[in-house]
Amino acid sequence: MRILVLSDIHSNLEALEACLESAPAHDMVVNLGDVVGYGASPNEVIERVRGLGEFFVRGNHDKAVCGITDLKDFNPVAGIAALWTREHLPAENLDWLRGLPQGPAALDGLEDVQFVHGSPMDEDEYVVSMHDAMQPLMTSSATLTFFGHTHLQGSFSGEPGGKSDVGYPEYKTVGQSETSEFPLKDGVRYLINPGSVGQPRDGNWRAAFALFDTDARIITFCRTPYNLKSAQERIMAAMDEFNRRHVVHTWSYKLDNDA
């Protein structure tokens, strides 16, 4: 089976469409959460991903937007984006976000593989370094974990009682659609991050995702260019509209109270 692994789309429809267009052939789609937040197309992205498959785990932005958690751990930009998103989602989409399952989760028939947003120890934890990866790598019941949250494409691996390694896929260009194959070895445990579709943070602007061939035991890391300018302009327009409205609200509130 060939599984397309998407994570951290963050309401970026342009990036999502580009990924789906360039994605290698696959049998199913798995989504590691943060479907919403930051980008300007939350409803379009929710509709699109719901049409792709049913296997999801929830991300911290999904939880904050639908009110499962508050915004106190969010930076100001993420907080405003979450409030903007909440205002623009109909009840049906807020309910759908509320119903997303907590990770880690597994697929039937693929019990040695798990999927989570942050870490298998804690769905909100960031696995950035080998130090962070060591405990989940060695104590999880699954030998292969797909995770997101950091927006950094790559792998952590370790052999019980042996050596450990951090890997980042290598690419030849900075602007083309490209793939980088990563064959899994027997007896080695892995944490694999497909990277972020909508907001990469690894110094590579292209949308990131991955494909997992469960029979060949090969991960294919993928990057694809998309219309970044259009996505950015729509975010700026949404932020302007939000600020204008909320500044006006504050101002009229003040007038009412001064009166």
- Which chain residues interact with Zn ion by CB under 5 A? 8, 34
Residue closer to Zn ion, measured from CB, 34 or 178: 34
Number of residue whose CB is nearest Zn ion: 34
Q: How far is the CB of 63 from Zn ion (least distance, A)?
A: 11
In the chain, beta strands by DSSP E: 2-6, 28-31, 55-56, 105-107, 110-115, 144-146, 154-158, 164-167, 178-183, 189-193, 207-213, 218-224
Q: How far is the CB of 91 from Zn ion (least distance, A)?
A: 24
Task: Pull the structure tokens for residue 81.
Answer: 């984006």
- One-letter identity of residue 59: G
Q: Is the dihedral of CA 105, 152, 79, 243 positive or negative?
A: negative
Euclidean distance between CA atoms 26 and 3, whole angstroms = 6
Q: How far is the CB of 163 from Zn ion (least distance, A)?
A: 30
**First-to-last CA distance in the chain?**
67
Residue pair 125/145 in contact (Cβ under 8 Å)? The answer is: no
Euclidean distance between CA atoms 220 and 23, whole angstroms = 10
Q: How far is the CB of 193 from Zn ion (least distance, A)?
A: 11
